[in-house]
Structure 1
Amino acid sequence: MDERLSKVDPKLLDLLVCPLTKGRLSLNRETNELVSQGAHLAYPIRDGIPIMLVSEARKIED
């Protein structure tokens, strides 16, 4: 995995919430995504920038 993709400021991660549920997000380093368990969505991180758009999120199947 390209290291620059996974480098997101930890302080920023603490501030970000799911735009749909306003719930906490967890970082999945393997897929380089921020995961919202409540919304069952995974938001991509591109070039170190979290893409916090529901339209860009991947649906997580249970």
Structure 2
Amino acid sequence: MISEELLRIIACPKCKGDLKLSEDGNFLICERCKIKYPIEDDIPILIVDEAKPLND
């Protein structure tokens, strides 16, 4: 699980905006870019090319 402290300091690598944890805890969401970054083995994959559109 991603800690609250980590959520406060990480940012979207594309726009530098805030990220929030998805309800299921499997993604970090950037509402500004309308994309989500996967979390694998409790490690956020903050690579723009790995991000998926929010509507997926």
Task: Settle same-fold status: TM greater than 0.5.
Answer: yes
Match of 2:15 in 1: 21
Identity percentage of aligned residues? 36
**Unaligned residue ranges in structure 2 (runs of 5+):** none
1:48 aligns with 2:42: yes
Q: Which of these two proteins has the greater Rg computed from alpha carbons?
A: 1
CA RMSD of aligned residues (A): 1.2
Give 1:31 shift: 5.6
TM-score, length of structure 2 as denominator length = 0.86
Q: RCO (CA 8 Å, sep 6+): is it higher in 1 or 2?
A: 1
Structure 1 Cα separation of the partners of residues 19 and 38 of structure 2: 12
**Unaligned residue ranges in structure 1 (runs of 5+):** 1-6
Structure 1 Cα separation of the partners of residues 23 and 39 of structure 2: 10
Bigger shift: residues 39-48 or 7-16: 7-16
Match of 1:60 in 2: 54
TM-score, length of structure 1 as denominator length = 0.79
